[in-house]
């Protein structure tokens, strides 16, 4: 029963995004071809701490990778899939692998500066909002605590990232975002992320 409810929610999520994109395309009468965006968020963490009592050195290195791929039926509205993978190494234990997979809908809003249109070309800065649903093998109770690891992807995660994309060269954009994440079971955390994406 639980799986059927989750499947129904995911199907409704995709269908509503598709219908909304088609309606917007017809309303705005934009004849843009289908567009694809490939992107990722990448975070690195390194610490080198010496215990003053034992003079022992603790070295910790972790990386967090979030690839995503999306399809745009409208110039600004699309949907896609997103993954999460986090792992690392240290000299005092074994770090578990964190992973997850999910779906999202994303909307871009181009910032247009009339006075400096020649510089910005009206497409250099894009605000965006994304609504995502993922299933992960971990959850957080707090950003200050370590994640709780499970054997399977049984945790429901809802995320609402808000950020800005800045065009670097042709279709290559850099992005900065703030991402509230809501874990069930678990708590709520606020992530700050950097990343890149390429608009095909």
CATH number for the domain spanning 37: value is: 2.40.160.20
On the question of pLDDT at 69 being above 90, the answer is yes
Task: Compute the CA torsion angle 190, 156, 147, 182 (nearest 10 deg).
Answer: 20
Give the pLDDT of residue 90.
Answer: 80
Section 180-197 average pLDDT: 90
What region does 170 belong to: left with phi over 0, alpha with psi -120 to 50, or beta? left
Give the pLDDT of residue 156.
Answer: 95
Give the pLDDT of residue 124.
Answer: 79
Residues 6+ apart with CB under 8 A from 94: none
Give the pLDDT of residue 43.
Answer: 78
Portion of the chain with pLDDT greater than 90, in percent = 32
On the question of pLDDT at 111 being above 50, the answer is yes
Structural tokens at position 174: 């850099």
Average pLDDT, rounded, for the chain: 80
Residues 6+ apart with CB under 8 A from 133: 9, 10, 13, 102, 103, 104, 156, 157, 158, 159
Please state the domain count of the chain. Answer: 1
Structural tokens at position 195: 């990343």
Residue 98 lies in domain: 2-199
For 134-176, what is each residue's pLDDT tens digit? 999 999 888 777 788 898 899 999 999 999 989 888 888 999 9
For 83-108, what is each residue's pLDDT tens digit? 999 888 888 777 788 999 999 999 98
Give the pLDDT of residue 27.
Answer: 43
Instruction: Report the alpha-carbon distance of residue 177 to residue 44 in Å, rounded.
Output: 16
Give the pLDDT of residue 134.
Answer: 95
Section 108-113 average pLDDT: 78
On the question of pLDDT at 193 being above 60, the answer is yes
């Amino acid at each position: 029963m639980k799986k059927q409810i989750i499947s129904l929610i995911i199907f409704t999520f995709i269908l509503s995004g598709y219908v909304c994109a088609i309606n917007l395309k017809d309303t705005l009468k934009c004849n843009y071809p289908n567009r694809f965006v490939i992107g990722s968020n990448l975070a690195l963490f390194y610490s080198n701490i010496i215990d003053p009592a034992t003079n022992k050195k603790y070295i910790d290195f972790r990386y967090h990778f979030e690839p995503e791929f999306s399809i745009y039926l409208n110039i600004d509205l699309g949907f896609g899939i997103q993954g999460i993978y986090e792992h690392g190494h240290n000299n005092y234990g074994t770090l578990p692998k964190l992973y997850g997979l999910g779906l999202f809908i994303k909307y871009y809003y181009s910032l247009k500066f009339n006075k400096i249109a020649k510089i910005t070309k009206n497409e250099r800065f894009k605000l965006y909002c994304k609504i995502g649903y993922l299933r992960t093998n971990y959850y957080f109770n707090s950003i200050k605590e370590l994640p709780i690891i499970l054997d399977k992807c049984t945790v429901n995660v809802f995320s609402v990232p808000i950020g800005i994309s800045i065009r670097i060269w042709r279709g290559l954009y850099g992005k900065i975002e703030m991402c509230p994440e809501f874990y069930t079971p678990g708590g709520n955390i606020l992530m700050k992320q950097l990343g890149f994406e390429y608009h095909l």
